[in-house]
């Protein structure tokens, strides 16, 4: 009799199994015809072991082939096949780097709920504008106008649920170390340009990192055999993306191929940065470099139309600043002057971004004014020329934003009387006027023929400060008539909204198509706060058919076209402005052909108590059926989107 083999024998070699099978067959042949059932089971068991071994070997061969095919693809750094529009999911991912893979889990969509946004958010106010525009279209009854509003539904209507825009992150494990990067020759070339001709804005926009330190970080990431951290990787690729796509990007005239290649390298840095931001550890230590990386991740999220991600990152940065004592003059007194300067500037950078993003999303700021004991005037810190005036105004304006939400747009503010709300708004307007820079009180229009880039940048930033100033004033005045018995815009609200557009038109010729300046203006002026003047002017057109405001809106939409390709958030702003302009033109055209009944509730932009649910007419539903679902754009107003974001 052949004894039963132990369990470990299941994975012996094929030759040993064949020998054992021969012995069993011989034993069975020597038995009489009355073979027991146990003997037959043993025979079948050995046959099964053979099949298991064969399958095991075949799987090993398949795995080996897959590793051989993927390894070369993951180590290549080819940039010819990747364009700025390529999705992250198209980038090959190495399986050799499995220790660094960060898997983003895709949760059940049914469990997701869109984040609640307060009345100060653009999404909240745009939703009200959309409902009332639909109502106006139905009341007019003109089919062409109804169809126009239906076509615009894909832009201003509700979009995918929260998290849908980041669903691509869950398609596969993403590791920033396997992302394709620009060739070393291109990196060396752009770093040499940076060393010889550093941009005036580099120090401020790259979180107060001197060019020499940035070059050293690039050397550690791109040319070192030692390991590097995700924090270093974020700082390096953020700076390189800025250099490739803006400051050192060749002009389109005369160098189209070089420009395309530079933008492609910039897109590689952007995609690598996106992957690295997704790996940021919640246990980061409270030190300056980590705060720098979080700020850069925040600005990247703003440009990528992901305000909710930006707010989470900047709140994390604020927590690190508070933990490290950057907000407390007594806690940084022992540091040298350069370190104190950097810590204070980093804190005020975080402060400005957090206050502005909180207002943009309809949230209370998480940085309490009562905890800050460093000078708000920034007189003790050193800033380059031009920025020593721009940054203090930006910080002071952000402080007004924090008060603006708390006093006028928060849940508790909705409980006070309209009279108290007006008093609060008037007080905030007085505070805002007290920080108005001298250059705004006595503006001098700079020449559009400025030859030096620095001069053009100075001109644009000085004049564009009026855009920030008037936008904030419009938000304040909007609350003054929010609950009046006959809702309407106050004269100063409409006046400030128009002044915002006029200040914008002063900046447009000064930019002269300079990508660096256009990017600064779009992302640090127009997209920093809820751009309410756009909706105020639009609603005024719908109410009064004002042709001058319609022309103002059209000119604004045309001016945004030159920067629409710079980022998803810039494209979103351009698209929604173009759609609102189209609706306004169609409304004026339609209302001129028939009597128009005024819709006073259009003036209550941003206040849900004046917007009852409106059942859409049959005509509207029929028109909506023609809007293809594959044309839907995930823009400012869906899920975790306000002017877009993750």
pLDDT tens figures, 494-548: 999 999 999 999 999 988 778 878 888 888 888 878 888 998 898 888 888 899 9
Residue 93, beta-bridge partner list: none
Provide the total of helices (H) and of strands (E) in the chain, helices listed first. 22, 0
How does pLDDT run across 421-436, given as a tens digit for each residue? Answer: 999 999 999 999 998 8
What pLDDT shows up at residue 307?
86
Considering the entire predicted model, what is its pTM? Answer: 0.69
Q: Where are the domains of the chain?
A: 7-75, 121-159+389-646
Q: What is the 3-state secondary structure (H, E, C) of 313-363?
A: HHHHHHHHHHHHCCCECCCCCCCCHHHHHHHHHHHHHHHHHHHHHHHHHCC
Residues 101 and 110: their CA atoms lie apart, in Å, by 27
CB of 495 closer than 8 Å to CB of 536: no
Mean pLDDT of the chain: 72
**Burial group, residue 326, by CB count within 10 angstroms (0-12, 13-18, 19+):** buried
What pLDDT shows up at residue 374?
86
CA angle 220, 221, 225 (to 5 degrees): 70
Q: What is the mean pLDDT of residues 105-121?
A: 49
Higher pLDDT, 115 or 2: 115
Cβ neighbours, 10 Å, residue 460: 24
DSSP summary character for residue 534:
H
How does pLDDT run across 26-64, given as a tens digit for each residue? Answer: 554 555 544 565 666 665 665 666 767 777 777 777 766
What pLDDT shows up at residue 385?
73
Residue 328, beta-bridge partner list: 373
Higher pLDDT, 550 or 607: 550
What pLDDT shows up at residue 361?
87
Smallest CA-to-CA distance from 314 within 473, 528, 571 is with 528
DSSP string, 502-529: HHHHHHHHHHTT-HHHHHHHIIIIISSS
Smallest CA-to-CA distance from 422 within 494, 359, 482 is with 482
Pick the range with the lowest mean pLDDT from 289-298, 358-367, 617-626: 617-626
How does pLDDT run across 205-248, given as a tens digit for each residue? Answer: 777 888 889 999 999 898 877 788 999 999 999 999 989 988 78
CB of 305 closer than 8 Å to CB of 572: yes
């Amino acid at each position: 009799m052949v004894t039963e083999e132990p369990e470990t024998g299941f994975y012996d070699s094929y030759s040993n199994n064949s020998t054992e099978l021969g012995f069993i067959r011989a034993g069975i042949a020597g038995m009489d015809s009355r073979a027991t059932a146990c003997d037959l089971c043993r025979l079948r068991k050995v046959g099964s072991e053979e099949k298991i071994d064969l399958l095991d070997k075949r799987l090993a061969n398949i795995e080996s082939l897959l590793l051989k095919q993927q390894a070369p693809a993951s180590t290549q750094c080819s940039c010819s096949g990747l364009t700025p529009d390529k999705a992250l999911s198209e980038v090959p991912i190495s399986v050799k780097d499995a220790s660094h893979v960060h898997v983003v889990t895709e949760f059940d969509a049914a469990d997701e709920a869109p984040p609640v946004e307060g009345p100060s958010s653009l999404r909240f106010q745009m939703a009200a504008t959309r409902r009332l525009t639909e109502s106006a279209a139905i009341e007019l009854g003109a089919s062409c106008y109804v169809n126009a509003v239906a076509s615009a539904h894909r832009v201003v209507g509700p979009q995918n649920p929260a998290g849908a825009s980041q669903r691509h992150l869950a398609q596969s494990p993403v590791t920033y170390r396997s992302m394709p990067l620009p060739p070393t020759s291109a990196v060396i070339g752009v770093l040499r340009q940076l060393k010889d001709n550093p941009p005036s804005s580099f120090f401020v926009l790259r979180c107060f990192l001197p060019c020499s330190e940035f070059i050293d970080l690039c050397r550690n990431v791109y040319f070192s055999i030692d390991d590097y951290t995700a924090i270093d990787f974020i700082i390096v690729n953020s700076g390189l993306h800025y250099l490739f796509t803006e400051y050192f990007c060749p002009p389109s005239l005369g160098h189209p191929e070089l420009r395309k290649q530079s933008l492609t390298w910039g897109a590689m840095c952007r995609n690598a940065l996106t992957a690295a931001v997704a790996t940021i550890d919640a246990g980061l230590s409270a030190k300056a470099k980590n705060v720098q990386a979080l700020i850069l991740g925040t600005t990247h999220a703003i440009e990528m139309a992901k305000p909710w991600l930006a707010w989470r990152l900047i709140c994390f940065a604020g927590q690190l600043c508070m933990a490290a004592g950057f907000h407390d003059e007594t806690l940084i007194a022992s540091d040298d002057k350069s370190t104190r300067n950097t810590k204070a500037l980093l804190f005020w950078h975080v402060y400005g971004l957090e206050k502005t993003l909180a207002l943009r999303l309809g949230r209370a700021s998480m940085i309490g004014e009562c905890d800050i004991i460093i000078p708000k005037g920034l007189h003790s810190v050193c800033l380059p020329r031009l920025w020593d005036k721009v940054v203090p105004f930006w910080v002071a304006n952000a402080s007004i934003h924090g008060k603006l939400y708390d006093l006028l747009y928060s849940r508790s503010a909705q409980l006070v009387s309209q009279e108290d709300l007006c008093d609060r708004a008037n007080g905030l307007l007085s505070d805002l006027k007290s920080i108005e820079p001298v250059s705004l009180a006595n503006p001098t229009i700079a020449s559009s023929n400025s030859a030096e880039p620095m001069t053009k940048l100075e001109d644009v930033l000085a004049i564009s400060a009026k855009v920030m100033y008037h936008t904030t004033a419009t938000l304040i005045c909007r609350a003054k008539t929010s609950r009046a018995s006959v809702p309407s815009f106050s004269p100063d609200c409409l006046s400030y909204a128009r002044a915002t557009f006029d200040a914008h038109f002063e900046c447009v010729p000064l930019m002269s198509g300079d990508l660096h300046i256009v990017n600064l203006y779009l992302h640090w002026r127009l997209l920093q706060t809820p751009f309410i003047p756009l909706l105020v002017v639009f609603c005024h057109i719908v109410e009064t058919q004002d042709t001058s405001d319609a022309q103002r809106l059209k000119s604004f939409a045309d001016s945004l076209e030159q920067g629409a390709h710079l980022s998803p958030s810039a494209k979103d702003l351009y698209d929604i402005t173009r759609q609102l302009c189209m609706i306004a033109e169609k409304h004026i055209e339609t209302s001129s052909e028939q009597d128009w009944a005024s819709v006073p509730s259009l003036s209550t932009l941003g206040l849900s108590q004046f917007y009852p649910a409106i059942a859409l007419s049959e005509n509207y539903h029929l028109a909506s059926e023609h809007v293809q679902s594959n044309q839907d754009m995930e823009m400012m107003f869906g899920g975790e989107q306000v002017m877009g974001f993750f």
